[in-house]
Chains A and B, each alone.
Chain A
Amino acid sequence: MTANGAVDWRDQIYDVFRENDIHHVAHVPDGGHAKLIKHCEADPKMKTVTLTTEEEGVAMLVGSWLGGERGALLIQSSGVGNCMNALSTVKHGKFPMLMLVSMRGTWGEGMPWQVPMGQATRAVLEAMGVIVYEVNAADEVRDTVEKASWLAFLSSVPVAVLLTQHLIGTKKFATA
């Protein structure tokens, strides 16, 4: 719960993981995912792995699926670019993949280095056959992540949910 009594969307993502038997969580830490990562790490039923780079997570979750487990990859938009060649296995082998991507470089971004990859995130994911959902409001998070997980694991396709800066908020670096 948040201070004003509303349900926190980060808690809801964790609930979706639990309800859908998502037991492997691979991540490159990001502020947008920080609370969710804490939940997963505190859960003995979950195997939470910190990566050095995002493509390791794509490969790891291919292995998880081969071994009969469902997983999710938590990354920042800048890390999407690192995943491309690893996604060859996913596309060629028709593996499910659930990616939750916290966005930078879009809505009101004040750090110019984030803009190139943030603006290219959707295009490069779609170029590798990843289905992209976008979520802009807290009350859409639970349903979107749940349906993304159903689509990924029941239809064996890669799905990325972009958690936009409308949802996460925009980090302010300087006065506009």
Chain B
Amino acid sequence: MTTAATSPILTLDRRSVVKALVADRGNDLMCVSGIGSPCWDLAAAGDHPLNFYLNGAMGSAAAIGLGLALAQPQKRALVITGDGELLMSLGVLATIGVAAPKNLAVVVLDNQVYLETGAQPTHTSHGVDLAAAARACAIPAAETVYTQADLDAALPRIRRADGPIFAVIKISPEKPPLVLPPLEATYTKHRMREALTGKP
């Protein structure tokens, strides 16, 4: 069996992927990052008032993105999370599929391991296909990205196409240097609300 560490399909660099996801973002893109490495990746790509880093409550990222998307239909909501984080609340795909917000994209950075806890394999390393699960949950715009060419093709869809959009991006299970985002959610909450509504 191919393990995550030796898989030929896990080549993309997570930091470059996240940097590309939020490139030239302006003030129309609202980002929610899931617990652990996606938070460090989003911070490394550049802190922003419209970033909400979920450093706990594992399994909540996609549903927070749903609420945000419904509250701000004129802006884009982008959830960037990990395979382990989404696997904890797979039912949310069905909720998103049925609610069907056009302005929501959920991106899973899939390294097929629980990186923060010692790289134990997640179910995606054993054949669980999250994009297929999303399609089965009434999210037809669901794909898996393996290469830079795939990513280049997927980026405009993730950033602009009518959603809900779901993309699994297979990434290398490397652990880049820690870049901490602001850890106080009272701060990131007020900052985002103020940026979106003009009041904290």
A contact set with B: CB distance below 8 Å: 24, 47, 49-53, 55-69, 71, 85-89, 92-95
Contacts and interface: CB of A to CB of B under 8 A. Distances in A.
Interface stretch (B108-116, B159-167, B168-176, B185-193): B185-193
Interface in B62-97: 62-72, 77, 89, 91-92, 94-95
Interface residues of B, number: 37
Interface of B: 30, 32, 52, 54, 56-72, 77, 89, 91-92, 94-95, 98-99, 185-186, 188-189, 192-193, 196-197
B57 A67 contact: no
B30 A67 contact: yes
Contacts of A66: 30, 52, 64, 67-68, 71, 189, 192-193, 196
B77 to A, nearest CB: 8
A92 B94 CA distance: 28
Given A56-B92, A62-B64, A69-B70, A89 B196 contact: no
Contacts of B68: 63-64, 66-67
Contacts of B58: 85
Question: Closest 3 A-B residue pairs measured CB to CB?
Answer: A67-B71, A63-B67, A93-B185
Nearest to A60: B67
Q: Which of A61, A92, A95 has the most CB of B within 10 A?
A: A92
Given A63-B71, A86-B57, 14 more contacts: A51-B95, A55-B59, A56-B92, A59-B66, A63-B68, A64-B67, A64-B68, A67-B69, A67-B193, A68-B193, A69-B70, A86-B59, A87-B57, A88-B56
